[in-house]
Structure 1
Amino acid sequence: MYKKQGSNFHTSSAGFTLLELMVAVIILAILAAIAMPMYSNYITKAKARSAQSDLVALSVVMESLYQRNLSYAAPTTNPTTTTAQTQNHAKGW
């Protein structure tokens, strides 16, 4: 733009105004409010599918043991108390 002689206006085109910054923050907040519940649902469904596939794999192992021994394994109490112990105990299947 051209500056008039004797004008006291000083226009600067560098940076953002506070209003532009607040509009950008509001838009990001709206997008985050929409995206977070969708991501949470996605994670929940993924964990459910993983658990389902683990149970199917366990049933295949149990049926294989039955075919070899003609009896199912006797249930035992859980020998583990932490997640790390359980993962170490069950890493064979």
Structure 2
Amino acid sequence: MHKMASRKTLSRIVNRTEDAQDIIKQKECLDQAHKTFQIQLGIGGRLFAADAHQQAMSTQKQVLSTQQQVMQKLDAIQQGVVLPPNLK
């Protein structure tokens, strides 16, 4: 004869099922949060790279401008138009 499960046993099964469902929901939430974080990290990384590139280009322009000024001053000194700073 087949024995019926007691109410206590059924209650444990229901509780474990609810616990399992809660765990599954928590895992799904964590997975979604992780995916969202990875997307934000990717976007942030691209924005950081773009900003770093922009800063590098700005610095390069400043260096070229300074280099050009130095070359102009050197040309002026060589042509005798401007006295070198140490001879003023």
| TM-score category (smaller protein) | 0.5 to 0.7
Task: Please tell me whether Structure 1 or Structure 2 has the larger radius of gyration of its CA atoms.
Answer: 2
Q: Which residue of 1 aligns with 2:55?
A: 46
- TM (norm. structure 1) is 0.57
Is 1:17 the counterpart of 2:26? The answer is yes
Q: Give the C-alpha shift of residue 21 in structure 1.
A: 1.8
Shift of 1:42: 0.7
Structure 1, gaps ≥5 residues long: 72-93
Structure 1 residue 35: deviation in Å? Answer: 1.4
**What residue in structure 2 maps to residue 58 of structure 1?**
67
Q: Could you tell me how far apart the structure 2 residues matched to 1:34 and 1:65 are?
A: 46
TM-score, normalised to structure 2, is 0.60
C-alpha RMSD over aligned residues: 2.8
